[in-house]
Structure 1
């Protein structure tokens, strides 16, 4: 899983790299579905061009093994994390369905 620490990233369909389907901003996560399902997804994530502030995009890698160790020691944190992932996923699905109408 990944988190955009600085800058932004574009989400594109794997079969149509010219079609930007979403823009991820600082603080947003991606790769959560792959983390949960253990499979690849049908999207390509690329760093956006440098912003007006001339900042490079920085992405934090969050290893699955790290999360597993963390959650095995703190079940409350695990519950909060999975609730957050569910909310993020719901928002993205709603955004995609409103675009496709």
Structure 2
């Protein structure tokens, strides 16, 4: 997916891991982290990977555009998990 995306785009970087502790009762920590990231890197084009098992809507609601997707099947022991890998991009 990334190779195809990079044929027409030149991203400045990748957002590898953004997480907040779900047990903390304060709302908006993820949004605050992302806002600070955007403030510090204004004008940079970034991309990130996530999947359909995560809250990918978080990124969609914050202006990220889905630029790629791929269906995969993961075999975890005796369990099969179908997921959709998702590639998102945004100019900060």
Fold agreement, TM-score > 0.5: no
- Structure having the higher strand fraction is 2
TM-score, length-scaled by structure 1 = 0.23
TM-score, length-scaled by structure 2 = 0.24
